[in-house]
Amino acid sequence: MPNEQDILKALENIYAPGGVSLTRAVSGIVISEGKAFVSLTGDPQKSQPWEVARRNAEIAIKAVPGVDAAIVTLTADRAIGSVQTSHKHDHNHDHDHKHAAQPSARHSTATSSKNVRFMIAVASGKGGVGKSTTAANLALGLSAQGWRVGLLDADIYGPSAPRLFGLNKKPAVEAGKLIPLEAYGVKIMSMGFLVDEKTPMVWRGPMVTQALMQMLNEVKWGELDVMVIDMPPGTGDVQLTIAQQAALSGAVIVSTPQDLALIDARRAVAMFQKVETPILGIIENMSYFQCPHCGGRSEIFSHGGARHDAEKLSVPFLGEAPLDMRIRETSDTGHPIVSSEPNSPQAGVYLGLAAKIKTLLETQKRKQAPNIIVG
Ligand SMILES: Nc1ncnc2c1ncn2[C@@H]1O[C@H](COP(=O)(O)OP(=O)(O)OP(=O)(O)O)[C@@H](O)[C@H]1O
Ligand SMILES: [Mg+2]
C-alpha cells in the first residue's frame, strides 16, 4: 500500500508552472483501495500550464507501485508555496521534504471557505433514498432560521435542483464567475443549469471532477452561512473527491429504514470518516407512512433501523422524515414543502432537523475551527 511520501516522491521532479517542484502545490492526498486522490493548488490565471502539470502528475502517480488509478484535481485558492502544513498528521512524515508542502490526509483545499462559514454534504450510499429532497428542504429550513444559504447540486449525472426548485434559466456570468440562481431566498448552482436536460452526460472521470471543482470554485456565492452540497448517490470516486476537496464541516447521511440502504449508509459513514469529516448525523427518510386521509401512521419498512445503526456507529441520529405524498408532490413540482407549506407538520420535520444541524454546526465550530483553512 503506497503512502503519502511515495506520492510526493513521484511528484518531486515534475515542475509546476513557475518552475518549482509540484510537491509544493500539493494540498491534499488521500489513498484508498489502490486509488490516489491528490489535489494541487494552482493559479487560476494559468489554467493551461496547470492542466499540463495536472496530467503529468496523474501519469507519475499512476506509475507508483500499488497505485491503480490516480485522480488529480486543481483547486485555486492559495498561492503556490503558501500551502498550509498539516497539523494532525505530521508524525507520519519523515521530514525529508523540508521544502515540500506537508499534505494533510484531510482535505485542506478549503474551497470557497473564505466566504462560506460552514459547508455540509448531504449524502447516502444508496441512490433514490431522498437525498435531494432532504437537502432542498434542509437548505430552506436553514434559510428560515435566518441563515444565508447556498445549495450546490453536485450530482452532475442526474441533477435534481432544476426540478426541485422549478428552475430552468441559464446562470449569468460576471467577471468569469457564474452567478448562482436563486429560489425562495436560497442560492443554487447545478450542472443541470449549464447543460440541456436532453444532452447526454457522457463525462469521463477526470472531466467530472474538474466540472465539480469549477462549480465549487468558479461560482460567485457571496457570503454564506452555510453551503449545502447535495451529493451524488454512492461512495465512488466523485464522492470521495468532493469529500476530500470541499472543506466540509460535516456530513449528513440519509438512509431509508431498509437493511440494504442501511448497509450502504454505513459505507457512506466510513467514507467520510476516512477523510476525517465529522458525521453530523443520520436522517431516516421515508421512515413511516403518513396517511393523507386519516393521518394514521404505518411503519411499512419496520422503521427505526437508521436510529439503531446510528447508535451502533456512535454517530448522532438526527431524526426521521415520513413517506408522505405532499413531500413528493411539492418537490416534484418545484416548490419544496418547507417553502410552499411552511406551517405543515411535514415542513415542521425539516425545520426541526435544520435547527438541530444549525446548533451542531455552531457548537462544533470551536472544535473544528483549525481545520477550516482560509487562503
Ligand atoms: N419523504 C418522502 N416522502 C415521499 N416521497 C419522497 C420522500 N423523499 C423523497 N421522495 C421522493 O422519492 C424520489 C427520490 O427522491 P430524491 O430525488 O430526493 O432521492 P435521491 O436520494 O436524491 O436520489 P438520487 O440518488 O437519484 O440522487 C423523488 O420522487 C422524491 O419526490
Ligand atoms: Mg439526488
C-alpha cell at 354: 435544520
Distance (Å) from CA 264 to ligand 1 centroid: 16
Strands 297-298 and 289-290: antiparallel
Q: Which atom of ligand 1 is nearest to the CA of 254?
A: 21
Q: Which atom of ligand 1 is nearest to the CA of 127?
A: 25
Could you tell me which residues come within 8 angstroms of residue 199 by beta carbon, excluding any fewer than 6 positions away?
none
Residue 287 CB less than 6 A away from ligand 1: no
When mean pLDDT is compared across 44-48, 242-246, 288-292, the lowest value belongs to 44-48
Count of beta carbons in the 10 Å neighbourhood of residue 34: 11
Test site for ligand 1: of 131, 132, 133, 329, most ligand atoms within 8 A of the Cβ: 133
Q: Cα 266–271–277 angle (5° rounding)?
A: 110
Distance (Å) from CA 158 to ligand 2 centroid: 7
Q: Which atom of ligand 1 is nearest to the CA of 321?
A: 1
Summarize pLDDT for 238-282 with one digit per residue, the tens.
788 888 878 899 999 999 888 777 888 889 999 998 888 999 999
C-alpha cell at 241: 473527491
**Average model confidence (pLDDT) across the chain:** 81
Residue 286 CB less than 6 A away from ligand 1: yes
Alpha-carbon gap, residue 230 to 288, rounded angstroms = 23
Please name which ligand lies nearest the alpha carbon of 234: 1
Summarize pLDDT for 82-139 with one digit per residue, the tens.
333 333 333 333 333 333 333 333 333 444 456 899 999 999 998 899 999 999 999 9
Residue 334 CB less than 6 A away from ligand 1: no
Residue 233 CB less than 6 A away from ligand 1: yes
Residue 328 CB less than 6 A away from ligand 1: yes
The confidence band for 69, taking pLDDT boundaries of 50, 70 and 90, is: confident
Residue 172 pLDDT: 87
Alpha-carbon gap, residue 261 to 110, rounded angstroms = 31
Residue 239 CB less than 6 A away from ligand 1: no
Sketch out the chain's domains with CATH numbers. Answer: 4-92 (3.30.300.130), 116-371 (3.40.50.300)
Residue nearest to atom 5 of ligand 1 (CA): 328
Q: Which atom of ligand 1 is nearest to the CA of 136?
A: 18
Residue 198 pLDDT: 57
- pLDDT over 70 at 296, yes or no: yes
Distance (Å) from CA 128 to ligand 1 centroid: 5
The confidence band for 196, taking pLDDT boundaries of 50, 70 and 90, is: low
